[in-house]
Amino acid sequence: MSANPVDEELVASATSGNSAAFSELVEPHRRELQVHAYRMLGSLEDAEDAVQETLLRAWRSRATYDRRAPFRAWLYRITTNVCLRMLERRPKRLVPYENAPAVPIGADAGSPTDLPWLQPFPDRLLDDSPEPAEEVVARETIELAFLAAIQHLPPRQRAALILRDALDWSADQTAAVLDMSVPATNSALQRARATMQERLPATRLDWSTAAGAEAAERSLLAKYMSAWERRDPSELVALLHEDVRMAMPPYPAWYDGRPAVMRFIEEHATGPAAFEHRFVPTRANRQPAFGVYRVDGDEATAFAIHVVAVAEGRITDLHWFLYPELFAAFGLPDRLP
């Protein structure tokens, strides 16, 4: 694991109780610790809580910091253990299609529930300039499909996978954080990788890395946004993959396949339940996303963070996170003029 050198004088001042020096040490790592906690917990809100707890624990135990170890690694160790304790107390985060079978074509979405749903993570909170090799790792280990699959791992397997495969820690470093032997850590990692291989399509990044995919994706998304705003269900359906899925947390219902999604879109784009939408492009989990506003008369109010996945030139997943309170984290206003 690479890390920037730490000013020894600053460390000495911080560990002796200088709060300003301590803040100067930890603040450069706050964002990456939040991403790490999000990978572990699947919730933006829980990740924020975990980082706050991490910094509080780090301050309280500052005198125990062993200067032979990188300061960044020490913070990651605290964050990981905070997350492990949170996972012991809280149920795993869910996505509708991992929670129950798809509803029949034409079925109503039912009522929202307060189950602990997976949440999206704003790209604006991710590192804006990772190295090219790290960009691939970041995409693979932050996208919603990865976060949904990792929920099936026991907490320590989850931590081993993230530390080894997302952060590129050594087996020795990972074992030390998890308070496990190296053989036990490697065994946990092997089991975690096997589970992820079963639950993730091997080709999920093929489209995004293909030549010309970026321009084609932009064109596809522009057509998709325009079709929603023009309330044109026929054009919307033409942009969907044959095996498209659509979920709308906190509603537990989800729709599988183009016919089922087509029926829902037809009803909500032009049918009795239809209303006008306004889309503002954004990014979440290294995927295309939109802040979607519901238009009522002269008002356009926050409605959903809409995250999509693209493969083979078509949209394969539609996630509507119906949580207007998430708009602030995406830097989006509650209302549009």
Q: Where are the domains of the chain?
A: 1-90, 206-336
Q: Cα(156)–Cα(297) distance, rounded to whole angstroms?
A: 51
Judged by DSSP in three states, 150 sits in: helix
Give the class (CATH, top level) of 206-336. alpha beta
Judged by DSSP in three states, 311 sits in: strand
| CATH architecture for the domain at 1-90 | Orthogonal Bundle (1.10)
Count CA atoms closer than 13 A to 192's CA, side-chain side: 23
Cα–chain center distance at 296: 30
| Alpha-helical runs (H) found in the chain | 8-15, 19-26, 30-41, 44-60, 71-89, 96-99, 132-140, 144-150, 155-161, 171-178, 182-199, 206-209, 213-230, 233-238, 258-269
Question: How much is the pLDDT for 206?
Answer: 53
Question: How much is the pLDDT for 22?
Answer: 92
Q: What confidence tens digit (pLDDT) does each residue in 228-258 have?
A: 999 898 999 999 999 999 999 999 999 999 9
Q: At 294, phi and psi to the nearest 5? A: -95, 125
Question: How much is the pLDDT for 211?
Answer: 54
Question: How much is the pLDDT for 337?
Answer: 86
Judged by DSSP in three states, 203 sits in: coil
Question: How much is the pLDDT for 261?
Answer: 95
Tracing tokens 């009803």 back to the chain, one arrives at 267
Q: What is the mean pLDDT of each run of 10 residues along the chain (337 residues)?
A: 62 89 91 94 96 96 84 92 94 90 92 95 76 59 91 96 92 93 97 92 56 80 94 92 96 96 85 86 95 93 96 93 97 95
Cα–chain center distance at 237: 26
Given a contact cutoff of 8 angstroms between Cβ atoms, the answer to whether 290 and 225 are in contact is yes
Question: How much is the pLDDT for 3?
Answer: 43
* Domain 206-336 in the same topology as domain 1-90: no
Q: Cα(39)–Cα(43) distance, rounded to whole angstroms?
A: 8
